Structure 1
Amino acid sequence: MRDLDETDLEILSLLGEDARRPYSEIADEIGLSGPAVSDRITRLQDAGVINRFTIDVDHSQLRAGIPVFVQVDVPPSGFDDLRDQIGDEEAVEHVFVTADGDIWFYARAQVQNVRQWLDELIAQAGDVNYTVTLMDDYEWRPSLGGTEFALTCAECGNTVDSEGESARIDGQMYHFCCPSCRDRFEERYNRLEEGA
């Protein structure tokens, strides 16, 4: 798949707000046809950018529990097993792995004694240290903010940097690494249009 462009990011952003949004509605917002949006989403799935469509359930509306954020210092020998065990626990909603090999997770512990629940949960890992933080509020906001992507030149395929140019040709946005690539592209485009 080619590099992501601005249209792909707009589609991802709209799907991030509502994964059940109809393709026709997305198409209206970004100025494409419904089939073009469908094609782009299929390519994003094939490339592994979109892994699945899901829902964001507010578990606090469904069940009670003590919301906790736990940081676990894991010995390397038991890391994989403990990560799987924590992830399989019904009360655990999100599992994170840090770059230095610790496991952090958010859970809604449905017990009176959080320490006892945690001791039982991680007992197999042996002697591990953990820190528990009681959460007051929790909100999950997935977004594309801070996402970086590389534009490629429509003419030569090089990466477009700050010296590049963009041009809208027949309603479609194209990016170029330099003015000469833009000129060559526009000349070829015009010749093809005249020949059609």
Structure 2
Amino acid sequence: MSNEKDHISARDLSILNLIFDQKNCEEKINECIETVVDTIDIKDCDEENSEEIKESKRLEIEGVILTESAKFDEALIKFNQSIDLAPQRPSPYNNRAQLFRFLDEDEKAIIDLNKSIELSSDEYMLTKCRAYTQRGIIKRKQNNIEEARDDFNESAKLGSKFAHQQLVDLNPYAQLCNQMVSKILNDYNEVK
């Protein structure tokens, strides 16, 4: 009789190992979270095109590009300039929060995300959705599960598939099921 593991693809086996390896699970989750690309079917309104707004957008885009290039000090300057020019825009706060997350400055990120959510009226639904998702990620990382669940719920209502998946993962019944499956697999591996 062939081994059951022989019928599982390498990809499936690595996913199972990720799910059930409690020691490395949080580290792997953080790696995945950093590269999340969420498809959301909403967008922000068209902002007025005053010179300040145009320049604020340009500086914000430069900040995003610098962040992606790991030029964090330069990116922070661009985001600060963007916010100084148009402090009523929620998007630069959201993007600066992402930078703070990369710098492991979660409290600063939370402050910016709170401001982004506060400024995100119904005209800035995409930014609001992203801010709730980011804040939920931080709250989950801080093991503040109830607040993380609330933020993911708000983001999921706005259409975030990633936030919806986080809600599924945070479901206590799903966690219990994962624990039971993990125990069964561990018992199975010990018998071999």
- TM-score calculated relative to the size of structure 1: 0.26
More strand by share: 1
Using CA pairs below 8 Å that are at least 6 residues apart, which structure has the higher relative contact order? Answer: 1
State the structure with more CA Rg: 1
More helix by share: 2
- TM-score calculated relative to the size of structure 2: 0.26
